[in-house]
């Protein structure tokens, strides 16, 4: 089984970055998007490798087996790539449910005969329990589904005043990818 407890604990450090007004439980969302446009400069159909070049870099991309229509790509085609990473987090009162991990994924590809394209999204949600708070030291102890605990320093110690032992911290990391290939011929 994959160990997500360390990842969840590391994400808490990011989660404690932002404050939240009033007495409500701390929550926030961080998002970063990377967009790139490049031109296909080489294709190796047998090895499913496509070399693209942008203003800043040259990359060799391996087309996964789920990518259909690789034979539709030609040197000179334009590739547009957008990757968005999101970390959302929220502290909530403890209840019937407790610590745990869940994952999800979805992918869609181009129809047969079209230029290759793919959109995909995957997410991991961690829930850990707050099992100790040390306001003097500015730390919080988190315990995951497997019973392992880790104490971390809060980047914003004021958030510790709005949580209590028994509260749950939900962290959701999502990565969304969109890749589209367009022909530049005839434009």
pLDDT, one tens digit per residue, over 100-127 is 899 999 988 888 888 888 899 999 998 9
Q: What's the confidence (pLDDT) of residue 85?
A: 94
Other CB atoms within a 10 A radius of the CB of residue 147 amount to 8
| Averaged pLDDT, 133-149 | 93
Q: Judge contact between 107 and 50, C-beta under 8 A.
A: no
Q: Is the pLDDT of residue 17 over 60?
A: no
Which pLDDT score is estimated for 61? 85
CA of 117: how far to CAs of 55, 82, 102, 108, 177, in Å?
22, 12, 27, 8, 10
**DSSP per-residue codes, 81-134:** EEEEEEEEEEEE---S--SEEEEEEEEEEPPTTSPPEEEEEEEEEEEEEEEEEE
- For the chain, the average pLDDT equals 84
Report the pLDDT value the prediction gives residue 118, as an integer from 0 to 100.
85
Between residues 140 and 65, the one the model is more confident about: 140
Three-class SS state of 38: strand
Name the nearest CA neighbour of 50 among 36, 66, 34, 71: 71
d(Cα 123, Cα 135) in Å, to the nearest integer?
Answer: 32
**Residue 187 binned pLDDT confidence (cut-offs 50, 70, 90):** low
Q: Using the predicted structure, report yes or no on whether residue 8 has a pLDDT greater than 60.
A: no
132 compared with 179, residue with greater pLDDT: 132
What six digits make up the tokens of 176? Answer: 């969304």
Over residues 30-43, mean pLDDT = 93
Distance, CA of 185 to CA of 187 (rounded, Å): 6
This prediction's pTM: 0.69
* Structural tokens at position 27: 């929550």
Query: 46: helix, coil or strand?
Result: coil
Q: Are 50 and 60 in contact (CB under 8 A)?
A: yes
Residue 77's pLDDT is 94
């Amino acid at each position: 089984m994959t160990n997500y407890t360390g990842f969840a604990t590391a994400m808490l450090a990011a989660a404690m970055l932002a404050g939240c007004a009033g007495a409500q439980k701390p929550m926030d969302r961080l998002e970063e998007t990377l967009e790139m446009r490049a031109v296909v400069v080489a294709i190796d159909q047998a090895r499913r490798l496509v070399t693209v070049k942008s203003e800043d870099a040259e990359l060799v991309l391996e087309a996964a087996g789920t990518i259909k229509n690789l034979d539709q790509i030609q040197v000179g085609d334009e590739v547009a790539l957008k990757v968005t990473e999101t970390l959302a987090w929220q502290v909530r009162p403890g209840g019937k449910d407790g610590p745990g991990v869940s994952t999800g994924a979805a992918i869609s590809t181009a129809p047969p005969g079209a230029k290759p394209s793919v959109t995909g999204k995957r997410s991991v949600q961690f829930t850990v329990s707050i099992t100790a708070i040390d306001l003097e030291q500015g730390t919080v102890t988190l315990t995951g589904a497997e019973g392992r605990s880790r104490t971390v320093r809060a980047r914003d110690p004021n958030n510790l005043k709005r949580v209590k032992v028994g509260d749950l911290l939900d962290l959701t990391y999502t990565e969304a990818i969109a890749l589209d290939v367009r022909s530049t011929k005839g434009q």
